Structure formats: structure tokens, C-alpha cells
Amino acid sequence: MVTIVVGLQWGDEGKGKVTSELGNNAEVVIRATGGNNAGHTVVYKGKKYALHLLPSSIMKKGVKNIIGPGVVIDPEVLTQEIKIIFGESSAVGKLVISNKAHIIFPYHKSMDQLHEEFKEHKIGTTGRGIGPCYCDKANRVGIRMGDLISCTEIELRAKIREAIAIPNILFQNTGHVEWGVSENTIYELCCKYKQSLESYIVDVQPIINKAIDNNTLIVIEGAQAFNLDIDHGDYPFVTSSNPVSAGACCGAGIGPTQVEKVIGILKAYSSRVGEGPFPTELTGDEGSVIRELGHEYGTTTGRPRRCGWLDLSKVATAAKINGCTTLCVNHMDTLGLIGLKLQHIKVCIGYDDEKQPIYSYFKGWKIDKCCKTYEELPMNATKYIEFIEEHTGVAVQYIGIGPDDEDVIKRW
Ligand code: IMP
Ligand code: MG
């Protein structure tokens, strides 16, 4: 039984929260794509944790947390995260890392900066080296987690020489000699990474296959989101992987016929970090109202997020291409308050001939803290949910009404 959780907007929809909830019954939780460009806030026993690479169910005892073959890993970040989580939390699940996952080295981060420097239209990447690492993977000069444990020194050094040749030429010719890296420096880094992560690196396929054969719940936790998908998003203002459900299958190593559910996560409004189109964006005071009420600042970079109204026409496309079976609408509490403050809520349902959004209007609401069922929600809120269902053709199963894991109404 495989369930995939995907983002339907520009990321930061609250995927971690739903994954964490599903993790209560899962045997395996897998991160399948992206790297530490992602930032998932997870609240565990009243304490907030910002996870970038560890799957959101890492605090759940008994869950096998897998970092899949499709993920790109910065070992420095992962080691730090493991230290914090395993050091502070008494109940931690098991962690394994795919031997096929590619490694992000410091020269990938320098390359990320170099690309941005030479772009006329900057992407506003997270600067974490994600794109250049996927680039090396496609160019077949990447170094994988498994190489740390299976290569001899001679084999690993040969791979390193191939990997750093072109970045070093570029650094020299663009006036960034200081970014240059030597074979020895990278080899030493590999030894360090091996020492801290060796015990987690395995072939993850047998673990996944066994869970499929036993018919236990496997959850694939999506990272980033539909509009950042390299094939389906707002190219070139996208990330360098496929955050859609099909990409999740690929990045985890699971055939599409094994997938039972695809849960699409959206926020009741929209936010975006980085550059690129955002037709329903609110730039003035109205945008600030959303940013402040929704605490819309990046988990990874701390950048203030751009905020605006829900774009249902984009969400409907996202739900279709992801093959969503149900939806989760988060921040319904926040949007209600935004509506009360601004005296209306707008939802984009399409575009006119000048490509300007066409809006439907809604009234705000206030959701009581003790509200536990759909029937207890204010009528203005249920009207909004039903409008989303009509326009996407997909049922809303989960409704987020607060920041904690438990603040979710599950309709069935
Ligand atoms: P990159 O993934 O660092 O290459 O950045 C490409 C674009 O995707 C930038 O606009 C980033 O801000 C955005 N992005 C990447 N990961 C996330 C995420 O997890 N949440 C929101 N935006 C993201
Ligand atoms: Mg995030």
C-alpha cells in the first residue's frame, strides 16, 4: 500500500504535517526527490524542528525512514540534522540512506552561485547546490553515497578528478580561483562523510520490496511542489527534479501500479519563495497581512515568502497531473482571519484574454480551537472547501486548522 504526499503549489504547503500523521501507521517513509532546498517544520512534543533531509516521520518509533535514490544529499547538513534529532529525541525511528543517492559537495554550491551570477533572469535558488548536483548526475560525473563505502581509494580519486575538472576550469576563468578544489580536499571530505554516515548507507530496494510484499503502508514524502517541477512547472523558475507523484515513484524505486493514494497538499492561499510568475500575488499591505498571519518566512533560507490568493486553475492542473485521489487544504484558520481583516477572500478560477486572473469572492471566518469535525467548521469555511472540490474534481479529505500535527480535521 503506497501513499504519496505531493505539494500542489510552490512548496511549503505543509506536506510534513500530513506525512507525520500518516507515519503513525506506516512501516516505511521515504524522501524521494530534492535535497536540503526543502524545509519541513515538524512539531514534536511541543518542540519545533526544521527538517531539510530527514523524512518527517523520523521521530516516530518503529518507522523505517529512507532517504531514497532520487535525493541529493549534503552530508554536512545531514550529519548535523542527525546529531540534533537523535540527540534530543528519545523516540527515533530507523534511518537508512540509499547507496544510489548523489552527494552535494562544496563545489556544487559554488557552481549554484556561479550560475545565478551569469543569469540575466535570476532564479533565486536556495543556493544549496541542488541544480549543479543533479547536473553532474545527468553528466555522469556524480559521486554517490555508495561510492563512499564500495570504492577503493584509487577508484574514488579517479571519480573525484573527473568531477572537479570542469568546475575548476570554470572557477578559474570566471575570476573565482578561491572556489577551486583539489582532489585531496574532496577525498578527505569523502573520508569524513564515510566516517559519519557509513552505518546508514545501504541498498534500500530490499527494504521497500519487502514492505510492498507484506502489504504494509509505505508513505512517500514529496518535496517542493508542482509549479517547481522541472517538466511541468514555471520553467526556468523551477527546481531541478520532478516533485510530481511520478517523480516520487522514480526517486523512491516504486512502480506506479503499487500506488494506492496520492494526497495533494495545498494552502488555502498561495506563497512562493524565489523568482518567477505568481499571477495572484499581493505585493502591498494585503500581501503583508497574509505573510504576518501565516508566518510566511522560509524554513531553509529565512527569506520572506511572496504571498497571494489561491490559484485554483493552477491547483486543478496540478491535481490532474499528479493523479490526486484526495486533497488536504492547510492554513484554513489563517485564511479565515485574513478574510476578516481584509473583508474578503479572493480565489482565481481562470484567466481573461489579457491573462489577468478572474476571481470568485468569499467571506472570512474564525475557527474555534476545539473544532474537531467538518460539521463544526463555520459555514463560510465549508463553502470554501466545497468550492475547491468543485473546481478540482477531487475530494478534500484533510483540513489543516492550526500549526500542530494534531490540528487536522480528517473527514474519513
Ligand atoms: P533550487 O531548488 O535551490 O534550485 O531553487 C529553485 C527554486 O525552487 C527557487 O525559487 C527556490 O526558492 C524554490 N524552492 C526549492 N525548494 C523549495 C522548497 O522546498 N519550498 C519552496 N521553494 C523551494
Ligand atoms: Mg518548506
pLDDT band at 88 (very low <50, low <70, confident <90, very high): confident
Catalytic residues: 12, 40
Mean pLDDT of 88-114: 90
Q: What is the pLDDT, as a whole number, of residue 386?
A: 98
CA distance 197 to 193: 6
Q: What is the pLDDT, as a whole number, of residue 95?
A: 95
Phi-psi region of 335 (alpha: psi -120 to 50; beta: other; left: phi over 0): alpha
Is residue 407 pLDDT above 80, yes or no? yes
CB contact set of 332 (below 8 Å; sequence gap of 6+): 268, 367, 377, 381, 384, 385, 399, 400, 401
Cβ atoms 314, 344 nearer than 8 A: no
CA dihedral 187, 193, 196, 198 (to 10 degrees): -90
Closest ligand relative to 51 C-alpha = 2
Phi-psi region of 129 (alpha: psi -120 to 50; beta: other; left: phi over 0): left
Looking at every residue in the chain, the average pLDDT score rounds to: 95
Using DSSP, state whether 219 is helix, strand or coil.
Answer: strand
Is residue 220 pLDDT above 60, yes or no? yes
Q: What is the pLDDT, as a whole number, of residue 370?
A: 87
Q: How many residues does the chain have?
A: 412
For ligand 1, what atom is nearest to the CA of residue 128? Answer: 3
| Ligand 2 centroid distance, CA of 36 (Å) | 10
pLDDT band at 90 (very low <50, low <70, confident <90, very high): low
Span 181-196, pLDDT tens digits: 999 999 999 999 999 9
CA distances (Å), origin 251, targets 19, 72, 100, 281, 307: 17, 10, 10, 32, 30
Is residue 361 pLDDT above 80, yes or no? yes
Cβ atoms 347, 362 nearer than 8 A: yes
Is residue 2 pLDDT above 70, yes or no? yes
CB contact set of 182 (below 8 Å; sequence gap of 6+): 164
Share of the chain above pLDDT 90, in %: 87
Q: What is the pLDDT, as a whole number, of residue 19?
A: 85
Mean pLDDT of 327-354: 97
Q: What is the pLDDT, as a whole number, of residue 55?
A: 92
Mean pLDDT of 159-170: 98
Using DSSP, state whether 48 is helix, strand or coil.
Answer: strand
- As for ligand 1, residues whose beta carbon falls within 6 Å of it are 10-12, 37-39, 123-126, 128, 130-131, 223-224, 228, 239-240, 273-274
Is residue 62 pLDDT above 60, yes or no? yes
Span 115-134, pLDDT tens digits: 999 999 999 999 999 999 99
3-state helix, strand, coil in the chain (%, to 5): 40, 20, 40
| Ligand 1 centroid distance, CA of 133 (Å) | 14
Q: Which has the higher per-residue pLDDT, 58 or 249?
A: 249
Q: What is the pLDDT, as a whole number, of residue 182?
A: 98
Cβ atoms 121, 144 nearer than 8 A: no
Mean pLDDT of 347-363: 97
Is residue 40 pLDDT above 90, yes or no? no
The DSSP call for residue 144 is B
Closest CA to 29 of 192, 222, 184: 222
pLDDT band at 38 (very low <50, low <70, confident <90, very high): very high
Is residue 91 pLDDT above 60, yes or no? no
pLDDT band at 108 (very low <50, low <70, confident <90, very high): very high
Q: What is the pLDDT, as a whole number, of residue 275?
A: 94
Cβ atoms 263, 8 nearer than 8 A: no
| Ligand 2 centroid distance, CA of 38 (Å) | 5
Closest ligand relative to 223 C-alpha = 1
Q: What is the pLDDT, as a whole number, of residue 39?
A: 87
Mutate to test the pocket of ligand 1, among 104, 227, 239, 272 (most ligand atoms within 8 A of CB): 239
Closest ligand relative to 50 C-alpha = 2
Q: What is the pLDDT, as a whole number, of residue 48?
A: 81
Mean pLDDT of 131-139: 98
Mean pLDDT of 318-341: 98
Q: What is the pLDDT, as a whole number, of residue 403?
A: 83
